[in-house]
Structure 1
Amino acid sequence: MSANSLPRTERLRSLGVIRRMFESGESGFIFPFRYVWFAEPDAEQSVEVMFSVPKKFHKRANKRNLLRRRAKEAYRLQKQIVHNGAQVNLDLALIYSSKEVLPYKTVANAVRRILESVVEHL
């Protein structure tokens, strides 16, 4: 599998883990994303991520899908920032919090800054 892929094993989908992350994780905001992350030291390194675009800000599904795809692509191409970091089990949620549809470059820059910020805190 390619190093730049985003397989199912790297997507956060367990309700229990998501609940734990939102209850006891750390959060921040880098425009246009609110992000929440939870890290625990572990023998093996695993990074799981989820992407969300609330219906509250973007009523049309095609806009939400476009923004989610842009965020996924930006993460997929820059995930080595996190994978080269510390040996931890990391869960990360990226929530798009802008009412406007921003270009890919802006989204990619924000995702890069978020990943660097999370690695810095580890």
Structure 2
Amino acid sequence: MSAHSLPRTERLRSLGAVRRLFESGESGFIFPFRYVWFAEPDTEQSVEVLFSVPKKFHKRANKRNLVRRRTKEAYRLQKQILHDGRPVNLDLALIYSSKETLPYKTVANAVRRILESVVEHL
């Protein structure tokens, strides 16, 4: 499988894992994202990510889908930042928190800064 793919196994889907992430995870804000992450040491490296664009800010589904696609693409191309560290089981949620639909370049820069800050805390 390509290093720049985003298979289903790398997406956070388990209700228990999502609940644990939001109850005991650490959070931060880098415009236009609020991010929450939870890490625990493990023997093998596993990173799962959740993308969210609230209906509160973007009423139209096509705008939410556009922002979600841009975020997924930015993460997919830059996820090697997380995979270069030590083995850790990491769950990450990226929540888009801007009312404007920002260009891809802004989204990609924010995702890169988020991934770097998470690696810095590990």
Aligned to 1:54: 54
Where has structure 1 moved over 2 Å in runs of 4 or more?
none
Aligned to 1:88: 88
Aligned to 1:31: 31
Deviation digits for residues 13-45 of structure 1 (CA, Å, limit 9, x no counterpart): 000000000000000000000000000000111
Aligned to 1:10: 10
Aligned to 1:72: 72
Q: Percent same amino acid among aligned pairs? A: 89
Tell me, in whole angstroms, the C-alpha distance in 2 between the residues paired with 1:35 and 1:7.
Answer: 21
Tell me, in whole angstroms, the C-alpha distance in 1 between the residues paired with 2:108 and 2:84.
Answer: 18
**Paired amino acid for 2:12:** L
Aligned to 2:99: 99
- Unpaired runs of at least 5, structure 2: none
Tell me, in whole angstroms, the C-alpha distance in 2 between the residues paired with 1:102 and 1:45.
Answer: 32
TM-score (structure 1 length as normaliser): 0.99
**Paired amino acid for 1:39:** A
Matched-pair contact (CA < 8 Å) for 1:86–1:119: no
TM-score (structure 2 length as normaliser): 0.99
What is the alpha-carbon root mean square deviation over aligned residues?
Answer: 0.4
In the TM superposition, what is the alpha-carbon distance from 1:85 to its structure 2 partner? 1.4
Tell me, in whole angstroms, the C-alpha distance in 1 between the residues paired with 2:8 and 2:97.
Answer: 24
**Paired amino acid for 2:35:** Y
Tell me, in whole angstroms, the C-alpha distance in 1 between the residues paired with 2:11 and 2:24.
Answer: 19
Deviation digits for residues 44-83 of structure 1 (CA, Å, limit 9, x no counterpart): 1100001000000000000000000000000000000001
Tell me, in whole angstroms, the C-alpha distance in 1 between the residues paired with 2:29 and 2:101.
Answer: 17
Aligned residue pairs, count: 122
| SS at 2:101 equivalent | coil
| SS at 1:98 equivalent | coil
